[in-house]
Amino acid sequence: MEGTAELRFDDGTPVTAASGVAPLGDGWLVVSDDATIGAWRRGDSVLPVRLLPPVQGLDRFGSADGTKHLKPDLEVACAVGVDGAPAVLALGSGSSPRRMQGVLVRLAAGAPVTAAADLTPLYRRVAEALGAAPGHLNLEGGSRHGDTVRWFQRGNLAAGVPSASVDLPLDALVAALLGEVAAAAVPIGGVQRYALGEVGGVGLAVTDAVALPDGRTLLSAAAEDTPNAVDDGPVVATALALLDGDRVLDVVPLPRAGGRVHKVEGLALRSVAAGEARLVAVVDGDDPAVPSTELDLRVLLG
């Protein structure tokens, strides 16, 4: 871990519940699972980006005020390309009917523009492909592998649910978000399952992923003490895992910082050179009063 920083908008408001991060233009787009507003960090500036319309007049949601059930629960921020230009794909977790939306973020004249769509039929087919029972789908990560988007389901060792993924054609997924094809027509394939191990009897489950130039994948994972793959619980440890397909090559614990475990929920690649990957990660502190943390990570690739 090379450095940490708090994420706050330029007006001082905290960026909370950061759940995904991806490059956008000359900065990084951070999505939060408790908000319809994203954060575009460019240098020392963090600007709000509307990703979805307000829900019942609200842009932020939480348990304390009884609005958690309303949130779109954006969990994935995946760097993609559209017509040769960089873009970001943001996807809901699918853990409830309200959380089955997707957003495509592109730049026009240097400013973010968005297109959103209800992807409910696709989510239902993904749940079927993964064998996820109703109420147990929780898609928390995504990575781009050439012309394919790999979408990751958070697992739960206690419930006997492995971390897993499905592959979707990038072009078809983008077309569905732009309303050019029906969400039900997006093909689903390439189901893989991952045995990530455990820490103190609590299973590690995937929280995000990035593809490496050599075809391998880096996963972030959390050992979260909860009885299912949807609910939050105490996080006893976090780790990075190096994968080749569905084969786990290595698992490395993430160090504590400031005396606490950082639950990395978003992961993006800065660079790869000389057998070393530099990553930017964002942390969901599960506290609406605390700004999310951005981490600068360095990983030696075996």
Distances, alpha carbon 231 to alpha carbons 21, 24, 183, 226, in Å: 22, 30, 27, 7
Q: What angle do CA 249, 252, 254 make, to 5 degrees?
A: 150
DSSP characters over the chain: --EEEE-B-TTS-B--SEEEEEEETTEEEEEETTBSEEEEEETTEEEEEE-S--BTTBSB--TTTT-GGG---EEEEEEEEETTEEEEEEEE--SSGGG-EEEEEEEETTEEEEEEEE-HHHHHHHHHHHTPPTT---EEEEEEETTEEEEEE--BTTTTB-EEEEEEEHHHHHHHHTTSS-GGGS--EEEEEE---EETTEEEEEEEEEE-TTS-EEEEEEEE--SSSSS---EEEEEEEEEETTEEEEEEEPPPBTTB---EEEEEEEEEETTEEEEEEEE--S-TTS--EEEEEEEE--
List, in order of start, the domains of the chain with CATH numbers: 3-300 (2.120.10.100)
Nearest to 208 by CA among 283, 293, 137: 283
Q: pTM of this prediction?
A: 0.94
- CB distance 166 to 246 below 8 Å: no
Distances, alpha carbon 254 to alpha carbons 152, 187, 231, in Å: 20, 35, 22
The pLDDT, as a whole number, for residue 229 is 65
The single-letter code of the amino acid at 256 is R
The pLDDT, as a whole number, for residue 232 is 76
The single-letter code of the amino acid at 120 is T
- CB distance 268 to 22 below 8 Å: yes
**CA gap 32, 8 in Å, rounded:** 13
The pLDDT, as a whole number, for residue 31 is 98
- CB distance 91 to 139 below 8 Å: yes
| pLDDT digits (tens), the chain, 302 positions | 567 889 999 999 999 999 999 999 999 999 999 999 999 999 999 999 999 999 999 999 998 889 999 999 999 999 998 888 889 999 999 999 999 999 999 999 899 999 999 999 999 999 999 999 878 899 999 999 999 999 999 988 878 888 999 999 999 999 999 999 999 999 999 899 999 998 888 899 999 999 999 999 999 999 988 777 677 788 888 999 999 999 999 999 998 766 778 889 999 999 999 889 999 999 987 777 889 999 999 998 87
- The DSSP element (H or E) to which 23 belongs, if any, is strand 18-24
Distances, alpha carbon 107 to alpha carbons 9, 48, 114, 261, in Å: 20, 14, 9, 35
**CA gap 105, 86 in Å, rounded:** 9
**CA gap 236, 230 in Å, rounded:** 17
